[in-house]
Amino acid sequence: MQTLSIIGAGRLGKTLGRLAFQSGAFQIGSVYCRSLARAREAVAFIGAGTALCALDGLALADIYLLSVPDDALVSVAETLAGYGIAHGALVFHASGACDAALLAPLRMHGARLGSLHPAYSFADPTRAAAEFSGTLCALEGDADACAALAELAQRLGGRSFCLAPGGKVAYHAALSIASNYLVTLTGLALSVAQQAGIESALRTDLIGSLMKNSLHNALTMGAEAALTGPIARGDLNTVARHLQVLTGLERETYLALGRATLAVARARLSPAQVEAMHALLV
């Protein structure tokens, strides 16, 4: 049985720790947080492990998970390299935006370096641990590290896939657009709907139902086929009227997304319609 140590047992770290322990395939070693109280809380959540608040007490392990903030990855890797880790160990981080190269200081110990990013929100660790099964996990790094991480992801209940070399930032940007911007758009749409005098509960139902239907169509039909609305129809009058009632950030967002929408719709419009619509949206 392999030993897994966790450095940075926040929401993601302790969730993966619990899943690893519950799989029966891993023994939990050191569980590090900056405060001993937080480390003990993480150990209690995971169900096993030794709480630590100092990295110099880290026990040797087969696998090390670094679930620390992105800005701390290099310094933590350098610190661990100074203290020493098990030779040939698998060391990985769970950052969505950074690649495994940040862990390079640990190569002096023959470490296999990689990253595993689960495409899941870990806001509630209890819920995350219960619902993690089937979660897609993006892998990159050394070939042998990725092979080991694919097995680890499977043990945790996830489904892994490998990113192209250098593709980590584009991967994370795609997730940010899909997740963060969707939430932002929901807020903006609800705000504009409020201007129409629609009461709160009905606003949520109205916007939510349309967004769910549109997302389903885009995912099943493709963006171009699923696109509807005034820009796709070349309806200049309607777009101009929309712009008359929008101000500030709502107007700026409408214009920016309108130009992106025009790029999707242009195949079904005439060159004259594309030109006129673009002039309206700048």
Q: What is the per-residue pLDDT across 249-260, written as a single tens digit (0 to 9) for each?
A: 999 999 999 999
- pLDDT tens-place string over residues 132-155: 999 999 999 999 999 999 999 999
Q: Stretch 168-178: mean pLDDT, rounded?
A: 94
> For residue 35, is pLDDT > 90?
yes
Mean pLDDT of the region 48-73: 95
Phi, psi of 198 (to 5 degrees): -85, 130
% of the chain at pLDDT higher than 70: 100
At 117, phi and psi to the nearest 5?
-115, 110
Domain 2-166 and domain 170-281 have a common topology: no
Domain ranges of the chain: 2-166, 170-281
CATH number of 170-281: 1.10.1040
> Can you tell me the mean pLDDT for 81-91?
92
Q: What is the mean pLDDT of residues 253-269?
A: 97
User: What integer is the mean pLDDT of 4-20?
Assistant: 97
Entry pTM? 0.85
Query: 79: pLDDT confidence band, cut at 50, 70 and 90?
Result: very high
Separation of alpha carbons 90 and 210, rounded Å: 45
**Angle formed at CA 105 by CA 104 and CA 107, multiple of 5 degrees:** 70
Indicate if the pLDDT at residue 240 is higher than 90: yes
Q: What is the pLDDT of residue 121?
A: 85
In this structure, what are the phi and psi dihedrals at residue 110, rounded to the nearest 5 degrees? 70, 20
SS (H, E, C) 102-136: HHHHHHHHCCEEEEEEECCCCCCHHHHHHHCCCCE
Dihedral sign for Cα 263, 161, 220, 123, please.
negative
Nearest alpha carbon to residue 101 among 66, 140, 75: 140
Average pLDDT over residues 109-129: 94
Q: Structure tokens of 214?
A: 């549109």
Supply the DSSP string of the chain, one letter for each residue.
Answer: -EEEEEES-SHHHHHHHHHHHHHTSEEEEEEE-SSHHHHHHHHHHHT--EEES-GGGPPP-SEEEE-S-GGGHHHHHHHHHHH---TT-EEEE--SS--GGGGGGGGGGT-EEEEEEESS--SSHHHHHHH-TT-EEEEEESHHHHHHHHHHHHHHT-EEEEPPTT-HHHHHHHHHHHHHHHHHHHHHHHHHHHHTT--HHHHHHHHHHHHHHHHHHHHHH-HHHH--SHHHHT-HHHHHHHHHH--HHHHHHHHHHHHHHHHHHGGGS-HHHHHHHHHHH-
Q: Which class does domain 2-166 fall in?
A: alpha beta
pLDDT bracket for residue 84 (50, 70, 90) = confident
